[in-house]
Amino acid sequence: MKKTASALWSGGIKEGIGSISTETGVLNKAPYGFKARFADGPGTNPEELIGAAHAGCFTMALSGVLEKAGLKATSMETRATVTLEKQGEGFAITAVHLALTATIPGATDAAFQAAASDAKANCPVSKLLNAAITLDATLQA
């Protein structure tokens, strides 16, 4: 399976503007630029998109792990916080923190924590990232 996305850019790094599109059309010329990445400007940025991809991948993977254990969530919400830090002359994504809140009837906290840890380690986006990945998982009653 292969999925595609594209980026278009015009201008310099600080004043330039770009757009990002996906094969599915969910993103269609979504604006991005320096101000959206490093200030409070309009548009999206690569770190935000990586966070969305990681949160989605992890949560979907967790659903699969839970299903194998005979459990089904009624609700799972994951927030991914992506850390971009200056390193030398450039920047690097150094960490992603996943914060999960879930409601899973019949799940014990121990089983939930084990499933969440498994999903964190094995979702394809986690495997892609060369960053420290941390997780806080909260099981709601």
- The answer to whether residue 41 scores a pLDDT higher than 90 is no
CA atoms within 13 A on the CB side of 55: 19
122-141 pLDDT, tens per residue? Answer: 999 999 999 999 999 999 97
CA gap 138, 1 in Å, rounded: 33
Taking alpha carbons only, the member of 50, 8, 55 closest to residue 29 is 8
Taking alpha carbons only, the member of 42, 7, 57 closest to residue 27 is 7
pLDDT of residue 141: 77
64-121 pLDDT, tens per residue? Answer: 999 999 999 999 999 999 999 999 999 999 999 999 999 999 999 999 999 999 999 9
The string of DSSP codes covering 51-103 is HHHHHHHHHHHHHHHHHHTT---SEEEEEEEEEEEEETTEEEEEEEEEEEEEE
pLDDT of residue 40: 86
